[in-house]
Amino acid sequence: MSDTAAVVEAVREALSQVNDPEIRRPITELGMVDAIEADGGRLRVKILLTVAACPLRDTLQRDVREAALGVEGVDAAEVEFGVMSEEQRKGLQAKLRGPGQAEPVIPFNLPQSRTRVFAVASGKGGVGKSSITVNLAAALARKGLSVGVVDADIYGHSVPRMLGVEGAPTQVEDMIMPPQSHGMKVISIGMFTPGNTAVVWRGPMLHRALQQFLADVYWGDLDVLLLDLPPGTGDIAISVAQLLPTAELVVVTTPQQAAAEVAERAGAIVTQTHQKLAGVVENMSWMELPDGSHMEPFGSGGGKTVAEALTRDVGAEVPLLGQVPLDPRLREGGDAGVPLVLSDPDAEASRAIRAVADQLAVRKVSLAGKQLGLTPTS
């Protein structure tokens, strides 16, 4: 092998360690490396983007250049970009979906899926369900888990702001690459509507949107998927039960008895959908005063009441996963796009949310395709 060929081969090997920043798989595996040309110590690398307006083009350029310059014998590296042809994009889409899956499927329903899916629900609005969802997601990601968040509250979507997501999804044929924030993949109808436009849809459209979020989005290999549901037991709650029958419900309430009664109705939907209840989270449990004492502006006991009532309703223990104190910084973090569990992980509210995340952070283990080591007996 000539010196030039050896350098090109070494560069290709180095580029196999560079992941596409959206898909999180090696660019060599995805067919994105179109050409590598060496001329003495100078190198030219041509990378094919899925779309011309790739939002992470600069990141990819930097990563490719750094990898190339790390190869012995390369003194300068130039990175050029092209765009995949329609045929190449279709090939990439087929590769991402996997063998035998030409049409979109919901990957979390497949037998080999190891993703735990949690649908965060509430009986009424204003209990901080979305704040709990994004902070739970951030706490799970902080533990090193691969996390996805679906903003299933189509009418009242707020997750993009709360997680600081500003970019739009990239589309590869009819497959959607979700934006990422704080290490989490996120999708919301708010990424597809201009400005603060209202979404005015009936039930079938809501169902189709949720179906697309689950089947058409490339989620990769997630440990946990969280869905921020709209309040109540309407169309989306029913669609989640149909599209994700193994999803587990996390019910959010405040200590107020009126809120607890409504939250119980939201959780009791599982008696009809046959889903599992992961537990109850009581939000706004108390407020710490300057002298260190606690004030309970919304009363007390609502979370425990809901957990006990749902235990009776479903005939199985439904735990109170945690009580989260009222902290203005939870709201401030949501407005700023940085969850409190990331900005101040030692805050009392953060510790309470992280304790809930610890109870949910158990990945399913699939036995599909594994050798069980069993020996038949005669």
What confidence tens digit (pLDDT) does each residue in 163-191 have?
Answer: 999 878 888 777 898 999 999 999 999 89
Question: Which residue from 200, 214, 172 is spatially nearest to 83, judged by alpha carbons?
Answer: 172
pLDDT digits (tens, 9 = 90+) for 190-229: 898 877 778 877 778 889 999 999 999 999 899 999 999 9
Q: How far is CA 199 from the centre of its chain?
A: 22
More confident position, 120 or 361: 120
User: What's the CA gap between 347 and 146, in Å, rounded?
Assistant: 24
Q: pLDDT, tens digit, for every residue of 122-161?
A: 988 889 999 999 999 999 999 999 999 999 999 889 999 9
Query: Is 369's pLDDT higher than 50?
Result: no
Long-range CB contacts (within 8 A, 24+) of 342-348: 342/138, 342/142, 342/182, 345/142, 348/288
What average pLDDT does this structure show over 62-71?
92
pTM: 0.78
| Nearest Cα residue to 278 out of 206, 221, 356, 376 | 356
> pLDDT at position 88, please?
86
Model confidence at 364, pLDDT cuts 50, 70, 90, reads: low
Given a cut of 50, is residue 367 above it in pLDDT? Answer: no
User: Two tokens at 309?
Assistant: 């009532």
- pLDDT at 370 (0 to 100): 43
Where would I find the H helices in the chain? 3-15, 57-69, 86-97, 129-142, 159-162, 203-215, 235-243, 257-267, 270-273, 302-314, 328-336, 340-343, 348-360
The token pair at 344 is: 């101040």
Which residue segments constitute the domains of the chain, with CATH numbers given? 3-84 (3.30.300.130), 107-360 (3.40.50.300)
The yes-or-no verdict on residue 1 having pLDDT over 50 is no
Q: Write the pLDDT tens digit of every residue in 221-272.
A: 999 999 999 998 788 999 999 999 999 999 999 999 888 888 888 888 888 8
Are 330 and 343 in contact by the 8 Å Cβ rule? The answer is no
Average of per-residue pLDDT across 320-326? 96
Tracing tokens 């700023």 back to the chain, one arrives at: 336
Which is nearest to 269 in space by CA: 121, 99, 90, 134? 121
Residue 368 banded pLDDT, cuts 50, 70, 90: very low
- Name the DSSP class of 63: H
Confidence label for 102 from pLDDT (cuts 50, 70 and 90): low
CA angle, 154 then 155 then 157, to 5°:
65
Paired sense of beta strands 248-253 and 170-172, if any: unpaired
CA–CA gap between residue 127 and residue 255 (Å, rounded): 10
pLDDT of residue 266: 85
How far is 312 from 327, CA to CA, in rounded Å?
A: 32
2 vs 69, which has greater pLDDT?
69
Element (H, E) at 33: strand 33-39
In this structure, the strands spanning 287-288 and 294-295 are: antiparallel
Task: Give the span between the Cα atoms of 221 and 228, in whole angstroms.
Answer: 20
pLDDT greater than 60 at residue 37: yes
